[in-house]
Amino acid sequence: MSTPASAAPGTAPAGRRAAALAALAALALTATACSSSGGDPLGGKGSAAPAPTGGAPTGAPAAGGTVVVGSANFPENVLLGSIYAQALKAKGVKVEEKFNIGSREVLYDQLVSGSLSVLPEYNGSLLAYLGKKSADPGTAAVNAELAKALPASLAILDSSPAEDKDTLSVSQETADKYGLKSIADLAGKAGEFTIGGPPEFKSRQEQPLKDVYGVTFKEWKSTGETTANAVKDGSVQVGNVFSTDPKITQLKLVPLSDPKNLFAAQNVTPLVNKAEVDATATATLNAVSAKLDTAGLLALMKKVAVDKEDPSAVAKGWLKSNGLS
């Protein structure tokens, strides 16, 4: 999944950080959720990683004990943020919700600064954002690399089995016409195709697609929340669609396989500011991860994206059914 775009991670200069904080306040008031077909959940390739560290959170929550749960501006991340927030509240943790903020470029710096305490992340996408990659695309290897790449203030908690990966998806008609089963099959054919995705998808993936698969597209379009529909109606021939997007099944799209692991493991994983969460918060978030699997996440996203149910209500129902509220 390609979640919001990539800037150099790590500690920003004071002036730029102040500007980002000011922009965030305005953005949080106006941002609205886009469809889960909008792109990689917080993914994208960044530049050099910040100073490495590791370890589990040990500090007590700051700001009067309030844990601030944030989310990116797409429905799945809002849903996950609500699950985290309500689970914490059920354990007596004082919580402030800041959802629909924007892309990882904004979110990551807010977590480093302590303005946010917890964020639903996707491990492989986060690792790519930090400018690193794992030779082994599996969850354990990706998380081991993340532990080394994160700055001292941050840590990942337990990854859930739930995985929401970027896909390159095509219509059944396009798959049949061109004999497409994997991303590798696009080589030599992509020059005829337009590819769609979130605004940042080109900057993140154009070069990796060339390097890994030798694929160069005729045109890149920013299709955002309409990506799956654009693939279906032929506005684009290939689209960056989340693997948990219900529209893949609804519109009979064909996700192309990724034999060279361009997209690594993308397990839903809590990313925390270690000084902002205590043992209770950590245990609560790990308990959520233990219960969340891909099939369950897909079912939840159908309720949100197709049935148009309120993410907060969907989160509440899931927590109750799993004994977490």
Maximum C-alpha span of the chain: 60
Q: Which amino acid, one-letter code, is at 282?
A: T
196: enclosing H helix or E strand: strand 194-197
Domains, the chain, with CATH or none: 14-163+265-321 (3.40.190.10), 166-255 (3.40.190.120)
Is residue 224 very low, low, confident or very high in pLDDT (cuts 50, 70, 90)? confident
Mean pLDDT of the region 147-170: 96
List CB contacts of 31: < 8 A, sequence separation 6 or more. 73, 100, 101, 102
- 35 touches 245 (CB < 8 A): yes
Q: What is the dihedral of CA 314, 316, 317, 319, to 10 degrees?
A: 120
d(CA 68, CA 115): 7
Q: What percent of the chain has pLDDT over 70?
A: 80
d(CA 82, CA 286): 15
CB environment 104-138: b (16+ within 10 A), e (fewer): bbbbbbbbbeebbbbbbbbbbbbbbbbbbbbeebe
Token pair recorded at residue 34: 């886009």
| Count of helices and strands (H, E) across the chain | 12, 10
Q: What is the dihedral of CA 143, 99, 241, 247, to 10 degrees?
A: 130
Token pair recorded at residue 229: 């529909």
The pLDDT score that the predictor gives to residue 262 is: 87
The pLDDT score that the predictor gives to residue 227 is: 95
Which pTM value belongs to this model?
Answer: 0.71
Looking at the predicted structure, is the pLDDT value of residue 50 above 50?
no
Looking at the predicted structure, is the pLDDT value of residue 274 above 70?
yes
Task: Give the closest residue to 258 by CA, choosing from 206, 201, 183.
Answer: 183
d(CA 254, CA 100): 29
Of 213 and 128, the structure prediction assigns the larger pLDDT to 213
Q: What is the DSSP letter of 249?
A: H
